[in-house]
Amino acid sequence: MRQQLVIVGAGPRGTGVLERIAANAPGLYSGPGLDIHLVDPHPPGGGRVWRQAQSPLLWMNSHAEDVTMFTDDTVTMAGPVREGPTLHEWAGLDGRTFADRQVQGRYLRWVYERALAELPPNITVHHHPRRALRVGGPREGRQQVWLEGRPRPLLADLVILAVGHLDAELDPGQAELAAYAERHGLVHLPPDFTADSDLTALKPGEPVLVRGFGLAFVDLMVLLTEGRGGRYDGETYVPSGREPVLYVGSRRGVPYHSKIGYDWTGERPPLPRFLGPAETDALLARPGGFDFRRDVWPLIEKELGFAHYHRLFTAHPGRTRMAWADFEEKYAAAGDPAETEALVATAVPDPADRLDLTALDHPLDGVRYASHEDFQHGLRSHIEADLHRRHDPGHSADLSVFLGLLSVYGQLVRLGSIGSWWHGFFSYLASGPPGPRLRQMLALSRAGLLRFVGAGMTVTAEDGVFRATSPTVPDFTVEARALVEARLPEPTVGRTRDSLLRELHADGAAATPEGLLRVDPGDGRILDRAGRPHPRRFALGPYTDVRTPGAFTRPRTGGPAFRQNDATAREVLAFLSASPVKEPAR
């Protein structure tokens, strides 16, 4: 009798696991034959985020050359390397293109089909275009996976969940705003996947408050401008007349930093240096555990500073006043931030060449504008300066910091869950919008269709309207009948809208305090509250506490997600090869 594996979620992660099953099965699988049931209401390959059925105006925010679904010899894993093209090689694009999401979806579909073609003949994949509702079954026996609209469950020897980005139930604050909107005939769009939101309630010419200035905002901006028939004529936006007027603000009040627009040349910073395996081991071994701000952040600061100054001193020595060897020795010896600051003040004359992470993180802190119009000019200048700097190789120390951020990210994965602050900081500096999107922002601002509210934006619901203010422009208040929360939902396992994970949690699966599903960092087995791995259930992806970088893997960077996919695929194949097939549980 054939064996059964159910994989829930057929987006990039589910596809990646399938690729690893195909790579490992010929050497590892010796069972009687295997049916893989791939469950996802969206088409396999792209899944929900990268499906074909979405606006062609939405782009990736990665360069096409930085996206691969294939392993190479930098990935430390037990399974075989199967090389394959990056997105730009596959699609015949310039490596620095920001491909649209439909193109990426076609690449993912091709990866999926290639994996199917490479499976041995005794392994067959069946796609079920449905939602999985619940997983049941005993620890030691066959699992049951209940699908929407199907009276009998799928029976499974093993289950892998790769359910990716999830929708969340509204938290109390959001629920209150939604109820207020309902009572007063206002529009409130809670955190959501912008591509899936119905934006028709946002009317032409009307002011709309938007909370959030990251990538979800960029999607929203695109869909409400070009998506409504507007177009760009060079640096000028030509409206269609169907656009609302967006009033955007956030905690920082500024958009994410532009993607860097030049390539690395020359010697790379020797990373990790101050935050590597030895330091993460020491953090993990601390008897009382570690505190992010007290114990981890100083190491991050030191590492990013090292990356920055290494590049400045080696590539732009004319802007420094000390030999690199001297600086490096003193930098390593500096015991606290004040000492480092004094060293930098002596060795780096231009403040623009010094790394100040706090100022970078909150550029509007303490900044006040006398009028809303002044602030519009001020923020346009801020964006122009950022665009200029991020496209100027004279500031290649910024690219070195970017490499430092990637290195740090890779190290922090080992620490397990460290809270969401770091992820936000990383995204703001390292995962911002493509330069052309910021140029569009400038054009929309000049056209008066995009208005900046400021930092620390607060929104109140009073007198039948939404009202926004910000300390950046103390005398300015804007009222609107529509409020959009431009950010992805942040579900906890207990508050996801998806019954599958909620029930798994209620049924004993453990979660971290921030609501991530706890899994074994080795093979992805789901842990119960006693820390016991479930023999037959695995989970991979952003809702688990083994948070590999959320983005696609860049070629030749070791790919922690690939390593994990490989470990899970091998464990699954070895388990099935060793298990005698039992009669299904009825």
Ligand X SMILES: Cc1cc2nc3c(=O)[nH]c(=O)nc-3n(C[C@H](O)[C@H](O)[C@H](O)COP(=O)(O)OP(=O)(O)OC[C@H]3O[C@@H](n4cnc5c(N)ncnc54)[C@H](O)[C@@H]3O)c2cc1C
Confirm if 158 and 5 have CB atoms less than 8 A apart: yes
- 552 touches ligand X (CB under 6 A): yes
**Rounded CA separation 16/577 (Å):** 21
Answer for which of 109, 131, 259, 451 binds ligand X (CB under 6 A) is 131
Q: Own/partner pairs for 354-359, CB < 8 Å, 24+ apart?
A: 355/304, 355/305, 355/308, 355/309, 355/397, 355/401, 357/301, 357/304
Q: Which of residues 462-521 bind ligand X (CB under 6 A)?
A: 488, 498, 500
Q: How far is the CB of 163 from ligand X (least distance, A)?
A: 4
- 12 touches ligand X (CB under 6 A): yes
Closer residue to ligand X, CB minimum distance, 135 or 312? 135
Q: How far is the CB of 273 from ligand X (least distance, A)?
A: 26
Q: How far is the CB of 322 from ligand X (least distance, A)?
A: 38
Q: How far is the CB of 424 from ligand X (least distance, A)?
A: 14
- 539 touches ligand X (CB under 6 A): no
Query: For helices 12-28 and 101-118, what crossing angle results, to 10°?
Result: 20
Write the interaction track for ligand X spanning residues 253-292; mark x where CB under 6 A is met and - where it is not.
----------------------------------------
> What is the distance, to the nearest Å, from the Cα of residue 376 to the centroid of all Cα atoms in its chain?
29
Answer for which of 7, 20, 34, 48 binds ligand X (CB under 6 A) is 48
- 550 touches ligand X (CB under 6 A): yes
Answer for which of 3, 4, 24, 61 binds ligand X (CB under 6 A) is 61
Q: How far is the CB of 222 from ligand X (least distance, A)?
A: 12
Residue written as token pair 């010899």: 73
Closer residue to ligand X, CB minimum distance, 161 or 348? 161
Answer for which of 60, 168, 468, 526 binds ligand X (CB under 6 A) is 60
Q: How far is the CB of 379 from ligand X (least distance, A)?
A: 25
Answer for which of 3, 4, 6, 11 binds ligand X (CB under 6 A) is 11
Confirm if 24 and 79 have CB atoms less than 8 A apart: yes
Beta-sheet pairing, 458-462 with 465-469: antiparallel
Query: For helices 435-446 and 215-224, what crossing angle results, to 10°?
Result: 50
**34-42, 206-214, 281-289, 344-352 -> range binding ligand X (CB under 6 A):** 34-42
Interacting residues of 56 by C-beta distance below 8 A, sequence separation 6+: 100, 102
**Rounded CA separation 120/36 (Å):** 12
Q: How far is the CB of 191 from ligand X (least distance, A)?
A: 11
- 160 touches ligand X (CB under 6 A): no
Q: Cis omega (within 30 of 0) on the bond before 272?
A: yes
Phi, psi of 145, rounded to the nearest 5 degrees: -115, 115
Answer for which of 62, 71, 225, 427 binds ligand X (CB under 6 A) is 62
- 437 touches ligand X (CB under 6 A): no
Answer for which of 21, 38, 125, 132 binds ligand X (CB under 6 A) is 132
Answer for which of 25, 49, 493, 516 binds ligand X (CB under 6 A) is 49
Closer residue to ligand X, CB minimum distance, 10 or 408? 10
How many residues contact ligand X, by CB under 6 A? Answer: 32
Which residue, 148, 244, 256, 156, is CA-closest to 212? 256
**21-29, 138-146, 161-169, 509-517 -> range binding ligand X (CB under 6 A):** 161-169
Confirm if 31 and 4 have CB atoms less than 8 A apart: no
- 193 touches ligand X (CB under 6 A): yes
Interacting residues of 335 by C-beta distance below 8 A, sequence separation 6+: none
Q: Compute the radius of gyration of the chain from its Cα atoms.
A: 25
How many Cα neighbours within 13 Å face the side chain of 314?
Answer: 17
Given the rule CB under 6 A, which residues bind ligand X?
A: 8-14, 39-42, 47-49, 60-62, 131-132, 162-165, 193, 488, 498, 500, 541-542, 550-552
